[in-house]
Amino acid sequence: MKIKEKAKVLDAEQIDKSLVRIAHEILENNKDVEDLAIVGIRTRGAILAQRLAAKIGSIKGSLVPVGALDITLYRDDLTTVAEQPVVHKTEIDFDIHESVIVLVDDVLYTGRTIRCALDALIDFGRPKSIQLAVLVDRGHRELPIRADYAGKNIPTSQKETVQVKIKESDGVDEVVVAEKED
């Protein structure tokens, strides 16, 4: 199966601007919050979480704890995928009890990844609230889940894929919409 690139929807500068805007929105919505923490979903969500935490930290003038969550062990399709996906480390080195967690992922699609992430996160304690930030919301939800902060809404068809590329893992910052060809 080949994948044909159709359109670049965000470049490096637009990605950065989106993260700056999300950082401001998070601070606006959580004015009096002391225990704010950012948790990203591996792989790309965790990298975006690092960037977002740095931006929030520099606006606020104090460090924001940041963690990484691997959701593999919580997936609802392990019995149907061909072979076991690689399990990566979950790294949450702070107490999430009574804190406000902003969960970060690159793309929001069916909502199943977020469902896994909520289960995984709650196994670490009982946060006061969990909010969701994504770089791209592409629609087609299969569960009652929505984003509190979205970099960009991109209406897509289910034949299309949204590829978020991040410098740390893919060598370049960009978001492209591509289409699968049979």
Partner 1 sequence: MAVAWKRKDLLDLESLSAEEIELILETTGSFKEISQRPIKKVPTLRGQTVVLFFFEPSTRTRTSFELAAKRMSADIVNIQTNASSLTKGETLKDTARNIEAMKVNIIIMRHSCSGAPHMLAGSVSPSIINAGDGSHEHPTQGLLDIFTIKEHKKKIEGLNVSIIGDIAHSRVARSNIWGLTKLGAKVTVCGPATLMPPEVEKLGVKVTYDIKEAIEGADVINMLRIQLERQGQNLFPSIRDYSMAFGLDAGKMKMAKKDVLIMHPGPVNRGVEITPEVADGPYSVILEQVTNGIAVRMAVLYLLSGVKERVE
Q: Using CB under 8 A as the criterion, which residues of the chain lie in contact with partner 1 when the complex forms?
A: 70, 73-74, 78, 81-84, 86-91, 119-120, 123-125
In the bound state with partner 1, the residue whose beta carbon lies nearer, of 2 and 89, is 89
Min. distance of Cβ 50 from partner 1 in angstroms? 19
Min. distance of Cβ 114 from partner 1 in angstroms? 16
In which residue are the tokens 């805007």 written? Answer: 21
> What is the token pair recorded at 115?
């469902």
Min. distance of Cβ 53 from partner 1 in angstroms? 20
Q: How buried is 54 (Cβ within 10 angstroms: 0-12 exposed, 13-18 middle, 19+ buried)?
A: middle
Q: Using alpha carbons, select from 148, 114, 151 the residue that is nearest to residue 136.
A: 151
In the bound state with partner 1, the residue whose beta carbon lies nearer, of 46 and 56, is 46
In the bound state with partner 1, the residue whose beta carbon lies nearer, of 88 and 152, is 88
Min. distance of Cβ 166 from partner 1 in angstroms? 20
Q: In what order do the strands lie in the sheet with 174-181?
A: 2-10, 174-181, 160-165
Q: Using alpha carbons, select from 65, 131, 79 the residue that is nearest to residue 104.
A: 131
Degrees to nearest 5, angle at CA 9 with 130 and 28: 35
In the bound state with partner 1, the residue whose beta carbon lies nearer, of 74 and 149, is 74
